[in-house]
Amino acid sequence: MKRILITLFVFSLIIPFTNLKAQSIEKKNKVSVEERNQFSLMKLPYSLDALEPHISKTTLEYHYGKHHKAYVDNLNRLKKGTEFENATLEEIVLNSKGSIFNNAAQIWNHNLYWNGFTPKSSLKPIGSLKEAIEKEYKTFENFKEKFNSVSMSLFGSGWAWLVKNQEGKLEIVQTSNADNPLRQGLTPIIGCDLWEHSYYIDQKNNRAAYLDAFWKVINWEIAEKNYKK
């Protein structure tokens, strides 16, 4: 009898623990299921101050740390319970509209933008992209001038892009707000963010000065990779 009581007592001690353990495993699994469907803010391939003096650490703290992060948080919230709950970012960009599209496309656009920079820029295109630029625009300087004028003339918020069209030719295009050239079957090679939040801390209203800075941090190796896609 005494033994039975002791055994029961011991079990009564163990059972809550096993329950707790089971619960914690369950909780962990639940979190990981949720996490699998959640987008997270990309890691920057350089430190926040790496693009100085061209683009300041403060700009990155806001542009990457606040704006880009807010698009990620918004999308995770908005897609819950919709057909896009388990979709990839690119699927959402290609097929959604309204707020889900706006936030998804802004994540995609900013990913390309940050990945397209390096503190050690070659300052000039390389490889097959260099050849394609010279074929299409005669010189790199001429190309830059055209890209700058497309960027300067965009009215409101949006982006300027160097893209490859379906015939494999280069084009410079503007898009408004979050819009993305993928939706027109174009392949983005370089994206320049022209929302005022990209340059207001460093340059205020001087978009031209921002474009000068922009060309100093372009990662032409990444641009070449994007071109070859």
Phi, psi at 83, each rounded to 5°:
-65, -10
Q: Per rule CB under 8 A, is residue 52 in the interface with another protein?
A: no
- Of residues 21, 28, 183, 204, which one binds another protein by CB under 8 A? 204
- Of residues 81, 156, 168, 185, which one binds another protein by CB under 8 A? 156
Q: Per rule CB under 8 A, is residue 201 in the interface with another protein?
A: yes
Interface map 30-49 toward another protein (x if CB under 8 A): --------------------
Q: Which of residues 170-199 bind another protein (CB under 8 A)?
A: 176-178, 195-197
Residue 180 has, within 13 A of its CA and on its CB side, a CA count of 28
Identify which of residues 53 and 156 has a Cβ nearer to another protein in the complex.
156
Task: Give the list of residues 6+ apart from residue 215 with CB closer than 8 angstroms, or none.
Answer: 123, 144
Identify which of residues 24 and 205 has a Cβ nearer to another protein in the complex.
205
Sheet holding 170-176, edge to edge: 170-176, 158-164, 187-193
Omega before 188 cis (within 30°)?
no
Task: Give the list of residues 6+ apart from residue 185 with CB closer than 8 angstroms, or none.
Answer: 165, 166
Which residues sit at the interface with another protein, rule CB under 8 A? 62, 66-67, 70, 99, 102, 155-158, 176-178, 195-197, 200-201, 204-205
